[in-house]
Structure 1
Amino acid sequence: MADKGRLSGLELNVLRSSILTSDAPEIFNHTANDEKPPVDRLIALYGLPVSQGSDTYKTMETEFRSSYKAYCQHVLDYDKSMEEYDLSSPAEPSRPPSSSEGMDTPLSELVRRFVEERIRGGNWTKKSEKEYRAIFSLLLAILGADIACSSITSKSAQKVKSTLQQVPKNINSNPKTRGLKFEDAITVVGVERMHVKTINKHLNACHGLFKWAEKNGYVSKNVFTGLTIKLKKSGDGERTAFSKDQIGKILSAILKDETSAIKKEYQRWGPLIAIYSGARLNEIAQLQLGDVRQVDGLWCFDINEKADGVRLKTSSATRLIPIHSELLELGFLEHAERLKKSGKQRLLHELSLSQGTGYGRNLSRWFNGPFLKAVGMSGQGLVFHSFRHTMVTNLLQSGVAEPLVKAIVGHAQEGVTQQVYFGDGYTVAQKKEAIERLSFGLENEGLK
């Protein structure tokens, strides 16, 4: 810039696209042929004693992407600082781009503005932000970062849809596709392709992006409307709720130790917490002992993102869930106190963190596999997530209002009344009264 002045449009778009890809490791590290990922080239350049796969390597790779993103943004900011002004006329207030200006906006810039607004508005959790960035990085790879919004047509959207159906599952980690150029990777035969549900997730994200773009004058219409693939529903494959008899059988198997499948503490307390709280798998798996606390005199699970490595699915997931009296009667608080005295930090301390999936992987694998098989419930569309269906179904059937059910299980509220005027939400006492309507008759079944 010192020699030539401001950057060209192409150079600006490359920098903007680089900012997006720096948040998506699978795109940032994607290389062709024998070329090494950026951090490996950096390590080789300076002869650093850092081995691939080590904690130091992971930290270095993360910081490298972060610093590169900061560098690109700094260059963009410096270029902007070189703008010229006509000081002979009054300065005009900033205005949104005209229709023609908006439609000439590069796709990479559209994505950047959309992502920035969503983050600033607090619409995404860290996990959601990471997922959306990866989705939009793939969109840019298919259509091109520099394509103008005005050039994106229904045919372009169909191209995205058809290309997504060719994308191999785990494209960057599969040995058959790792290291290939994107256009070469999608032609590899003999590999499993992206699942239809994942394809629809990508298409829905693109629909959300272009819906925002249409409202803000960047495009004249949303070309991603109606593109999702309709899935045939199969009764055998659907997730369903447990019946009360099935819950009774699960409780009996756990509390009477009727199966050899239960060998660890998390295999006992994980399902018990799910039965009486309706919380998500990872919400339970990542619970800290400090998250078991009294609020207004009532014992609660405090579902939050305060601890390192803890992530929630949505902003609505942050909530207090009163602990059911039957779970208290089963000695839950005493168990938690023993763990505190032994120096543990997490409730299900035996579970380890899995990159990208959280703490719940082993609990899910054990419950959905060996345990359900041991109690004769495998192959019936029942999984750990069915506990949430069970909670919602039973609360609604017992007369609990739907907004209160949503507050307990962490679903987003709808309507101005709930979203705006009822900002403080339901009290712990109200939730407690509702959740106590759910009873599985431990005393009658001889399970206490």
Structure 2
Amino acid sequence: MVDIDKLLKDAENAFQLTIGGVRLPNGTHLTNVRIDTPEDERQFHALMAAAPPTSTSQGTKAVAVERRKEALLSALAATHLADLERAGRDKKTVLESRHSLMLLRGIVGDIPAADLTSDHCRQFFDEVAHWPRHATKRPEFANLAVREVLAKAKTMAELPPAVATLNKHHQRLSTFFNWLKKNKHLTENPLHGLVRQDKDDAEEETGRAFTQDELDAIFEPTAYVAWAAKYPHRFWVPILALYSGARVTELSQLYVADVEVINGIAGYHINRRFAGQKLKNKASRRFVPLAQPVLDAGFLRFVEEAKLAGEARLFPQLPNNDGGGFGKQMSKQFSAYLKKRAVTEAGLGMHAFRHTLATRLARAKVPLQTIGRITGHKGEQGTLGKFYIDEPTLAERLAALGQFVPGVPLMRYSP
């Protein structure tokens, strides 16, 4: 026995409804009715309104009224992630999307996607603001469900996620919700009812520059050479980062063929020309001149050594096993080195070189547009996105790097 009014309400509020069989009061017998789209809902509503029930005592029955399992968040999230992989999206993008969707399901429950509302999204952001950093890797949260992790984290003195992290969750959920809408599981994106923090208030490039004392500790000759002796990338990547502000992944993925001399100026391409290379955005594509101290340290000699050894990549000992980029291991190794050098502030790592160069060049009155052309900062590129070598400003950029004074001596490379 079923309540036809309730059935109508269910049909109005949720798509992907399957009715195994129902006999209406006027004698009409319906079987295997599926409501997949808004148009299906309207037609079913009209049909039910044309045959109103008199009372449940007339024996109206419905069999197997249920929402299909494939309409639940868990199943649709799996399909969405498979679509991202099929479309060739970066493995890191897929991994991060899986994390956001896991949190969504853990916070609001494995509900039918059609039930999602703006209130569910508000609930998500209220709760995810308590999600502890690196929770999946921390033993105190091992084997706990999402809600259990959040409950425990609320009793601890945990730092809140960065604004950039929350905005990334917003972006990934919006991509998923738009996908649901295109596949007719939703009529509207429930995030549209929420106010997102202004991008101007959410600084993309988080962190700070190294202090002079920290630079002195990092490049102290005896300690640095001892740490770098195991792999060439340990010697060169921090030096290149110091004198270019390039991101760790941009440097770790360099190929021998990326190093060129253009108009008499030696430098290297940051681009997506070879296997495994990636760019953060269009503004990242650029040609970075090599500062004179880097040349004096023997960088071109190292490049020639790699070429003679038959290596395609400059730093072949850096792997990209999970598709997250060649810089992942470099970041870990450098972070471990920082701790040994008593540079222990949480979150401080390779990215601080980027801030160090930009900050000191700005203090030296180098124009922001020139700094942006060196570092690949978004919004400072002009035509650089299209003409990535930008030959007319190449000498200007090299001169700008000549004004960068890090205050630490560089050791000469030993093959």
Quick check: 1:19–1:69 contact (8 Å CA) kept in 2? Answer: no
Quick check: 2:370–2:397 contact (8 Å CA) kept in 1? Answer: yes
How far is 1:441 from its partner?
A: 6.9
Partner of residue 193 from structure 2, selected from 220, 223, 229: 223
How far is 1:157 from its partner?
A: 2.7
CA distance in 1, matches of 2:238, 2:72: 48
CA distance in 1, matches of 2:133, 2:360: 37
Inter-CA distance 420–209: structure 2 relative to 1 (3 Å threshold): farther
Give the letter for the 2:78 counterpart: T
Report the TM-score when normalising by structure 1: 0.57
SS in 2 for 1:392: helix
Greater fraction of residues in strand: 2
CA distance in 2, matches of 1:220, 1:15: 16
CA deviations on 1:143-177 (whole Å, 9 max, x unpaired) are 5675459x623x32331124435768778888998
Quick check: 2:270–2:284 contact (8 Å CA) kept in 1? Answer: yes
Partner of residue 21 from structure 1, selected from 53, 78, 81: 78
CA distance in 2, matches of 1:421, 1:447: 33
2:170 alignment counterpart: 206
2:27 alignment counterpart: none
Quick check: 1:169–1:192 contact (8 Å CA) kept in 2? Answer: no
How far is 1:263 from its partner?
A: 2.9
1:222-371 aligned at under 5 Å gives the runs 222-225=192-195, 239-244=207-212, 246-247=214-215, 250-251=218-219, 253-254=220-221, 260-264=226-230, 265-355=232-322, 357-371=324-338
Inter-CA distance 321–210: structure 2 relative to 1 (3 Å threshold): same
Q: Does 1:156 align with 2:120?
A: yes
Quick check: 2:249–2:327 contact (8 Å CA) kept in 1? Answer: yes
CA distance in 2, matches of 1:380, 1:202: 19
CA distance in 2, matches of 1:422, 1:346: 24
Query: Structure 2: which 5+ runs fail to align?
Result: 1-30, 38-66, 179-186, 199-205
Moved more, 167-176 or 303-312: 167-176
How far is 1:434 from its partner?
A: 2.1
Quick check: 1:142–1:160 contact (8 Å CA) kept in 2? Answer: yes
Give the letter for the 1:395 counterpart: L
1:27 alignment counterpart: none
CA distance in 2, matches of 1:419, 1:170: 37
CA distance in 2, matches of 1:190, 1:355: 32
How far is 1:412 from its partner?
A: 1.0
CA distance in 2, matches of 1:163, 1:381: 23
CA distance in 1, matches of 2:35, 2:210: 61
CA distance in 2, matches of 1:429, 1:20: 50
CA distance in 1, matches of 2:121, 2:348: 36
CA deviations on 1:416-447 (whole Å, 9 max, x unpaired) are xx6679854643333223222224577xx696
CA deviations on 1:69-89 (whole Å, 9 max, x unpaired) are 87xxxxxxxxxxxxxxxxxxx
1:392 alignment counterpart: 358
2:377 alignment counterpart: 411
Moved more, 294-303 or 4-13: 4-13
CA deviations on 1:85-110 (whole Å, 9 max, x unpaired) are xxxxxxxxxxxxxxxxxxxxxxxxxx
Inter-CA distance 12–436: structure 2 relative to 1 (3 Å threshold): farther
SS in 2 for 1:387: helix
Moved more, 274-283 or 309-318: 309-318
Report the TM-score when normalising by structure 2: 0.61
Give the letter for the 1:438 counterpart: F
Quick check: 2:292–2:402 contact (8 Å CA) kept in 1? Answer: yes
